[in-house]
């Protein structure tokens, strides 16, 4: 399969895709990104991801002179060039190229946009399997609501999970309330059949899949609550699942040494995943 990317206005084979050494994304993580799943001609929550991309850019004072439609055209063309049918689109925008200096005051820079495609094996319709997770203190910077490329704590947490034969690490704030996963939002269903996830209090990323699942819950008359919940509530939940752009809805059946739902996949998690996939198929 061809490996072609879009870098700062031109298409390149991967081996020729280069970023300037003075790109501020490279030096400082002064960049934001988004990941969008696609299946044939279907994008999952495309508009939500692009809207969040521009919101993240605005939060750090970057202006990207692209419309939503022009980005979609670029992405569709890139998918076609790569002959990809199922996978992810990665978009990254850095502030631009300048001599290394922390402050960006008075810098008149052209933002650098890159887009790449990763084709994956299509296991979209496979039966859901539960995964394991571990808990860790949340040691990220104070603005995880902005989707920047400053991901070192997330990388260390994800690696720690894999070292412990787990799929995800779940972050705990200073009072041992759940924030989110290293690359996901976390949900619980309690024994009062309340579907709970942390509110948008600045301590988590406003997940696009999270938002869609919340709407599904409301439409299906599942009581949806946004609030903090404790590690103890997590351990003793009826069901626990994560949501993300690349994992959709994935049930967690073991956290640390605690089995959730006796280690079985629950009906609500499974139904929400199926609803999410079927709804996007119709778009």
Q: Which CATH number fits domain 131-281: 3.60.20.10, 3.40.50.460, 3.20.10.10, 1.10.3720.10?
A: 3.20.10.10
> Can you list the residues of the chain whose pLDDT is less than 50?
283
CA angle, 207 then 165 then 248, to 5°: 25
Residues catalogued as catalytic? 147
CA distance linking residue 122 with residue 82, whole number of Å: 16
Return the residue matching tokens 């959730």. Answer: 260
Q: Please tell me the predicted confidence (pLDDT) of residue 281.
A: 59
**In this structure, are residues 45 and 280 in contact, taking their beta carbons and an 8 Å threshold?**
yes
pTM over 0.75: yes
Q: Name the residue ranges covered by the structural domains of the chain.
A: 4-119, 131-281
- Give me the pLDDT at residue 283, please: 45
Contact (CB, 8 A) for 36 and 88: yes
**C-alpha 75: how far from its chain's center?**
18
Token readout for 228 is: 């903090």
**Res 230: pLDDT:** 98
The contacts of residue 187 (CB under 8 Å, 6+ apart) are: 195, 196, 197, 213, 240, 241, 242, 243
pLDDT in tens, 145-195: 999 999 999 999 999 999 999 999 999 999 999 999 999 999 999 999 999
Nearest to 168 by CA among 179, 176, 178, 157: 157
What phi and psi values does residue 32 have, to the nearest 5 degrees? -125, 165
What confidence score (pLDDT) does residue 120 get? Answer: 87
- Structure token digits, residue 109: 């820079």
- Top-level class of domain 4-119: alpha beta
On whether the CB atoms of residues 203 and 179 are closer than 8 A, the answer is yes
What would the two tokens of residue 62 be?
A: 């970057």
123: left (phi over 0), alpha (psi -120 to 50) or beta: alpha
Q: What's residue 27's pLDDT?
A: 97
Tell me what percent of the residues of the chain surpass a pLDDT of 90.
Answer: 89
């Amino acid at each position: 399969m061809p490996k072609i990317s879009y870098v700062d206005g031109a298409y390149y084979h991967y081996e020729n895709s280069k970023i300037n050494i003075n790109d501020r994304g490279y030096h400082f993580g002064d960049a934001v990104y988004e990941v969008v799943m696609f299946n044939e001609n279907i994008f999952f929550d495309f508009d939500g991801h692009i809207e969040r991309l521009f919101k993240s850019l605005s939060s750090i004072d970057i202006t990207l002179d692209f419309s939503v439609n022009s980005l979609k055209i670029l992405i569709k063309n890139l998918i076609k060039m790569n002959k990809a049918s199922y996978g992810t689109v990665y978009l990254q925008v850095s502030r631009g190229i300048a001599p290394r200096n922390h402050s960006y005051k008075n810098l008149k820079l052209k933002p650098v946009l890159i887009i790449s495609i990763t084709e994956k094996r299509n296991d979209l319709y496979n039966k859901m399997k539960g995964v394991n997770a571990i808990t860790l203190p949340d040691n990220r910077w104070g603005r995880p609501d902005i989707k920047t490329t400053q991901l070192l704590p997330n990388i260390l947490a994800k690696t720690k999970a894999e070292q412990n034969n787990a799929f995800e690490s779940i972050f705990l704030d200073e009072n041992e309330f759940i924030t989110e996963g290293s690359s996901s939002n976390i949900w619980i269903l309690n024994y009062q059949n309340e579907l709970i996830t942390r509110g948008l209090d600045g301590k988590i990323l406003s997940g696009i899949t999270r938002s869609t699942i919340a709407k599904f819950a409301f439409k299906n008359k599942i009581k949806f609550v946004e609030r903090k919940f404790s590690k103890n509530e997590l351990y003793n939940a009826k069901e626990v699942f994560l949501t993300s752009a690349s994992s959709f809805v994935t049930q967690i059946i073991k956290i640390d040494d605690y089995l959730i739902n006796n280690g079985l996949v629950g009906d609500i998690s499974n139904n929400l995943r199926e609803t999410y996939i079927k709804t996007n198929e119709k778009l």
